[in-house]
Amino acid sequence: MAQSCKDRVYTILMMHPVCRDSDRKLFWRYYHDHYGIGTLSIDFTTFMNGKYDSYETISRARRAVQAEHPELSASPIIAEARASIEATKGDFINHTTQTL
């Protein structure tokens, strides 16, 4: 049976703790392990055809895995930085400038 994206991310987070703190490192490891990136050449058209999990899909899977498995959470410094960024996201959505 084929593994889901979430299952693959779980395995990577278990085996490569450095990927818990960095979506870029997670993305690279995911593509390296499951698609052979780094060992084979993929052109733009092949990459864009939808057969590969997107960066956003992998990032969402990481968040889901870390929510279900707190032992796989990011380091405290990274978790604090992510929480700070998340807290400020809404500050600019409805920001309006008052004119006199």
Quick: pLDDT tens for 50-96: 788 889 999 999 999 999 999 999 999 988 988 888 888 766 555 55
Quick: pLDDT tens for 47-63: 788 788 889 999 999 99
In three state form, how does the secondary structure of the chain look? CCCCHHHHHHHHHHHCHHHHCCHHHHHHHHHHHHHCECCECCCHHHHHCCCCCCHHHHHHHHHHHHHHCHHHCCCHHHHHHHHHHHHHHHHHCCCCCCCC
